[in-house]
Copies of this chain bind each other. A is one copy, B any other.
Amino acid sequence: MYALIMAGGSGTRLWPRSKKTRPKQLLDLLSGRTMFQEAYDRVAPLFGDEGIFIVTSGEYVPAMRQQVPAIPAANYIVEPSGRGTAPCIGLAALYLRRADPEGVMCVLTADHYIKNVERFRQVLRAAARVAEDGYLVTLGITPSFPSTGFGYIRRSAPLGTVDGFEVFRVEKFTEKPDAATAQRFCESGIYSWNSGMFIWRVSVILSEFERLMPTLYAQLMEIDAAIGTPEERTVLERVWPQVEKQTIDYGIMERATDVAVIPVDIGWNDVGSWATLLDILPADGDGNVVTGQHLGVDTHGCLIYSPDRLVATVGLEGMVVVDAGDVLLICPRKRAQEVREVVKRLREAGKEEYL
């Protein structure tokens, strides 16, 4: 049983704290530990340091090695560039197969928040037992509100109960819904959020790549043949740019047959934007989440991140204020997604120093 922590993203919506050279998984957004360290802390008791693999971008490896020295250097799998979750998982599966062809891999991420870590470990154990029977297992998060920011999973027939967790066959995966649809999904009681966490046998997922994504599979096999040879790096860097970008959801999960979901409530959240941090982090008496010094007059429901400077606010409501030293971001929490647009414009303007 192995953990694969995907930690290659850049997290532009958490700009200006997250930057190209300092992506969100390397930041301590939630606690004194970085999100990558927290991802490690969550699974280390279950998998041991040797059983945790990381797939990421080469430029982030030195910082990650420094943040979590316990994970062996050999357990880092470097993607030459981000091609979506399907190629990422496929590449990692090649390395895991060499370690243990019949092993179960738990695909996890470094940019999620999980409140109930003990229950998370329990469900991973249960999921691994289901995966041993050949299922592609996904963790389905019990919706806490009708979010339009996540994909949903609709369950069908129950497959039984494992370690106290009910397991269902998946009827379908759906894209992010509109508000009315999300409302309907939540009321139905048969939808879960798609957490992006998957548990399966290495051999099973590779078979599914061969069956459902044959082009990618052929490219993976070309890379596989070079692993352990002096050409490994050269081949990877030649093949990778030709790999089509694709998500595992679209490429495999939506088209596979033996897919199971385990609905679970673990206090999960995708730390996707500054607005999420307002939901997750403890607020003061005025509903403000503050890091640093803040003097608020009639200020409520704001996220204030300013470790070095006093922030004084008058009459602010639901606002995000992030001081990252050389740059300051101010935006209403409801528009936190649009921070992407700022990053895009800076890129277009060639202001690399801020990215």
Binding site for B on A (CB under 8 A): 16, 295, 297-298, 306, 309-316, 319, 321, 323, 325-332, 334-335, 338-339, 341-342, 345-346, 351, 354
A sample of 7 inter-chain contacts (CB < 8 A) reads: A295-B345, A295-B346, A309-B323, A309-B325, A310-B351, A314-B331, A314-B335
Known: A321-B330, A323-B328. 10 other contacts (CB 8 A): A295-B346, A309-B327, A311-B327, A314-B330, A314-B335, A314-B338, A314-B339, A315-B334, A316-B330, A319-B330
Residues of B within 8 A of A354 (CB): 310
Asked if residues A330 and B330 are in contact (CB atoms below 8 Å), the reply is: yes
A328–B345 touching, CB < 8 Å:
no
Contact of A326 among B309, B327, B342 (CB under 8 A): B309
Q: How far is the CB of A300 from chain B (nearest CB, A)?
A: 13
Q: Give every chain B residue within 8 A of A16 (Cβ-Cβ).
A: 312
Let me know if B330 and A312 touch, CB within 8 A: yes
How far is it, in angstroms, between the C-alpha of A354 and the C-alpha of B293 when the chains are bound?
12
Given contacts A314-B338, A338-B314, contact A297 B345 (CB under 8 A): yes
Q: Can you tell how many copies of this chain the complex includes?
A: 2
Bound form: Cα–Cα A305–B263 in Å = 50
Q: Which residues from B are CB-within-8-Å of A345?
A: 295, 297
Instruction: Give Cα A316 to B316, complex, Å.
Output: 11
Q: A331 — which chain B residues lie within 8 A by C-beta?
A: 313-316
Task: Give the residues in chain B near A316, CB-CB below 8 Å.
Answer: 330-332
Query: Which B residues are in CB contact (< 8 Å) with A311?
Result: 327-328, 330
Distance of A317 from chain B, by nearest CB (Å)? 9
- Looking at the assembled complex, report how far the CB atom of A181 sits from the nearest CB atom of chain B, in whole angstroms: 25
Minimum CB–CB distance for A313 against chain B, Å: 5
Q: How far is the CA of A312 from the CA of B323 in the complex (A)?
A: 10
Contacting residues, chain B, for A319 (C-beta < 8 A):
330
CB of A306, distance to nearest CB on chain B (Å)? 7
* Cα(A130)–Cα(B254), bound, Å: 89
In the complex, chain B residues whose CB is within 8 Å of the CB of A351? 310
